[in-house]
Structure 1
Amino acid sequence: MHKGVVYALLAAALFGASTPFSKMLVGQMEPVMLAGLLYLGSGLGLLAWYGVRYFISRDKPVSGDRLTASDLPWLSGAILTGGVAGPVLLMIGLAVTPASSASLLLNMEGVLTAMLAWFVFKENFDRRIFIGMILIVIAGALLSWGQRLELGVPWGALAIIAACLCWAIDNNLTRKVSASDAVQIAGIKGLVAGSVNLSIALALSYSVPEVRVVFSAGIVGFCGYGLSLVMFVLSLRHLGTARTGAYFSAAPFVGAVVSLLILGETPNTVFWIAAALMGAGIWLHVTEVHAHEHTHSPIFHSHAHRHDEHHQHEHDFPWDGKEPHVHPHQHKPLVHSHSHFPDIHHRHPH
């Protein structure tokens, strides 16, 4: 299985598994406070990981995948839309929208992510990928649907859809910096989003829960938001936005499975129908073959790589021959044909 697919499914599994645990914490604090603690736990955990990794590798000659000044506008936009505006709009929507409707509406994130990737950022897709996305989204909707669909308040529904649009923009903007350090990207997003949401909660005079609950929220946030986002960024690097979003849409299924295991419930018919649709959609994506002659334009960037057919270059520093390794490098023009995804090296028009 392609490593980009593995990263995306791991991201979905971590986020999906965190959902039942997050629900256990909802009754112990206000939703905005919980969002702040989850994001802050993510950011602080990844900051610690980044610090330990830097200390261990500080004597190495190259570490070229760190964020640069040119990445900051894209990352700032992603944080503003996905880490700040999205959660706030969601909280506004949840305040006046029935839970059943909200769950269904949240499935719009995958759809809007793909739509933006395909029609705004011009990412390649074909009929197979489109059908696979539709099956995955329908499966997620079935898992989210309770006994009946309640219409709720229109303004609340619009706020939730707006939150999904913010996260879709976030996903597409994050792809622009996905060649950079995934831990650094996810850590900064977690720290900023956590600080903003926590500030909103404190400004609204919400009480801070006891230390045990805060610690639990931090652990859930680190695993379900921090590590998940690292895997998501790595998948963006290898698969592009729409395909990563499609695989990540499997998160509701993982959450449902974990909920069933924790609560000891028996899966109903809807669960198995959703599982079949989810499996069919993922199968369509996993078995995709996209190959044609394409042109690589000259590009200068930095990321972890091996000296494969796309990376034939000299080094201007002492190299011990180990791969993969990271450093800024120049790609020369190249025309060839092979099976590929819309990764950081294949963003060409069709």
Structure 2
Amino acid sequence: MLAPGIRLAMLSALLFGASTPFAKLVLGNGVNPWLLASLLYLGSGIGLALVHLWRKAIGRGEAEAPLVRSDLPWLALVILCGGAVAPVLLMAGLATTPASTASLLLNLEGLATLAIAWLVFRENVDRRLLIGAAAILGGAVLLSWGGGPAGGGLGMLAIAGACLAWGIDNNLTRKLSSADPVQIAMLKGLAAGTVNLVLALTLGAALPAVPVVAGAALIGFLGYGVSLVMFVVALRHLGTARSGAYFSTAPFIGALLAVAMFGETITAPLIIAGILMAIGFWLHLTESHGHEHAHEALEHDHRHIHDSHHQHDHPPGLAPGEPHSHRHRHGPMVHSHAHYPDLHHRHDHET
């Protein structure tokens, strides 16, 4: 049975992958790409704001740790990279690139996420993950080559730039993954959507008809908002590199939907690229990692249950029931079990 973090990463990928061909459909109505990017994030932010208010009304909001002042610089960078730069580049690329090609090229986001996690943040990445990443990269290169589907050039370059920006965003979001994922995604959607909307309207974009705006908002709520909430929780359980690897299923979903929705041609390079990417994903999915490791003393706040890593006293007045959230301390511990680089296993490894 798949671990909860893997299931959430794959569900996140399903929603985000489906959003690409549907966004392409909205662009077909003559919507300005920059304006569409703003509508997607505003739909995400407004929808999650309603969810946030509903949770508070029924008393469910206390199970997650809220964002604190020290989180704000990271949140600002997340909004800039993932909420402002990336969606604009993606919409610009979609305007000149077939939806199936664009969907598969989004695999580059997983590669960018993994590379940054490994090289910059020193997250443990073993040989199996690297070989899987190479298979995904081979598929993306084949897809971008002249023998692939029509369309390319600056459009593909823009999509690759969006993937890099989202790769940076994913690694920065890990810094926030112990906090409330709904709050993170809500603030990202509202801030990024508002800024992009003002800029798009200032540069002459016109708002489309109400049904088109509503459709774009719904795509954004599911494909950017709910998807991001699931991805943040996956980051909490799996770490950045592995969450990004599982998220690489999104382009396959988008490509299949694009072929069905737009009648795009299934070419040999498209099939081979998909096979290579599937092999890379399988290598990631079948990874197993376990060894004796030491936990240093740690104090933090996040949603948790009383498992082997959470045996602690509770502050007075804490409502009974699990899961719950409060600031707690982990004492030093040495043990061995299968694990991912989650909130409690971000330790060094021997090379």
User: In the alignment, what sits opposite 2:59?
Assistant: 57
Moved more, 39-48 or 291-300: 291-300
User: In the alignment, what sits opposite 2:6?
Assistant: 5
Where does structure 1 lack aligned partners over 5 or more consecutive residues?
none
User: In the alignment, what sits opposite 1:70?
Assistant: 70
CA separation of 1:180 and 1:163: change in aligned 2, threshold 3 A: same
Encode CA deviations 1:280-305: one digit per residue, 9 max, x unaligned: 32322222111111111222112221
Alignment partners' CA distance in 1, 2:158 and 2:304: 41
User: In the alignment, what sits opposite 1:27?
Assistant: 28
Q: 1:27, CA displacement in angstroms?
A: 2.1
Give the letter for the 1:53 counterpart.
Answer: R
State the number of aligned residues.
Answer: 345
User: In the alignment, what sits opposite 2:18?
Assistant: 17
Does the aligned pair in 2 maintain the 1:260–1:266 contact within 8 Å? yes
Does the aligned pair in 1 maintain the 2:45–2:186 contact within 8 Å? yes
RMSD: 2.9
User: In the alignment, what sits opposite 1:317?
Assistant: 316
Q: 1:324, CA displacement in angstroms?
A: 1.9
* 1:1-350 mapped onto 2 (5 Å cutoff): 1-28=2-29, 29-57=31-59, 62-63=62-63, 65-90=65-90, 103=102, 106-139=106-139, 147=148, 152=153, 161-262=160-261, 269-270=268-269, 272-318=271-317, 321-350=320-349
Does the aligned pair in 2 maintain the 1:7–1:234 contact within 8 Å? yes
* TM-score, normalised via structure 1 length: 0.88
CA separation of 1:139 and 1:7: change in aligned 2, threshold 3 A: farther
Alignment partners' CA distance in 1, 2:257 and 2:159: 25
Alignment partners' CA distance in 1, 2:91 and 2:110: 19
Does the aligned pair in 2 maintain the 1:311–1:331 contact within 8 Å? yes
Give the letter for the 2:306 counterpart.
Answer: H
Alignment partners' CA distance in 2, 1:262 and 1:90: 19
Where does structure 2 lack aligned partners over 5 or more consecutive residues?
none
Give the letter for the 1:116 counterpart.
Answer: I
CA separation of 1:319 and 1:340: change in aligned 2, threshold 3 A: same
* TM-score, normalised via structure 2 length: 0.88
Does the aligned pair in 2 maintain the 1:114–1:242 contact within 8 Å? yes
Q: 1:322, CA displacement in angstroms?
A: 2.5
Give the letter for the 2:207 counterpart.
Answer: V
Does the aligned pair in 1 maintain the 2:12–2:230 contact within 8 Å? yes
Alignment partners' CA distance in 2, 1:14 and 1:306: 28
Report the secondary structure of 1:176's partner residue.
helix
Q: 1:136, CA displacement in angstroms?
A: 3.4
Moved more, 158-167 or 100-109: 100-109
Give the letter for the 2:135 counterpart.
Answer: L
Give the letter for the 1:341 counterpart.
Answer: Y
Report the secondary structure of 1:207's partner residue.
coil
Q: 1:236, CA displacement in angstroms?
A: 0.8
Moved more, 38-47 or 160-169: 160-169
Report the secondary structure of 2:58's partner residue.
helix
Does the aligned pair in 2 maintain the 1:100–1:149 contact within 8 Å? no
Q: 1:158, CA displacement in angstroms?
A: 6.1
Does the aligned pair in 2 maintain the 1:85–1:166 contact within 8 Å? yes
Report the secondary structure of 2:112's partner residue.
helix
Encode CA deviations 1:305-325: one digit per residue, 9 max, x unaligned: 111111010111345653222
Q: 1:264, CA displacement in angstroms?
A: 6.8
CA separation of 1:151 and 1:37: change in aligned 2, threshold 3 A: closer
Alignment partners' CA distance in 2, 1:64 and 1:161: 34
User: What is the percentage of aligned positions where both structures have the same residue?
Assistant: 55
Does the aligned pair in 2 maintain the 1:136–1:281 contact within 8 Å? yes
CA separation of 1:79 and 1:27: change in aligned 2, threshold 3 A: same
Q: 1:260, CA displacement in angstroms?
A: 3.7
CA separation of 1:162 and 1:124: change in aligned 2, threshold 3 A: same
Report the secondary structure of 1:57's partner residue.
coil
CA separation of 1:329 and 1:6: change in aligned 2, threshold 3 A: same
Alignment partners' CA distance in 2, 1:340 and 1:56: 34
Alignment partners' CA distance in 2, 1:117 and 1:245: 10
Alignment partners' CA distance in 2, 1:141 and 1:252: 14
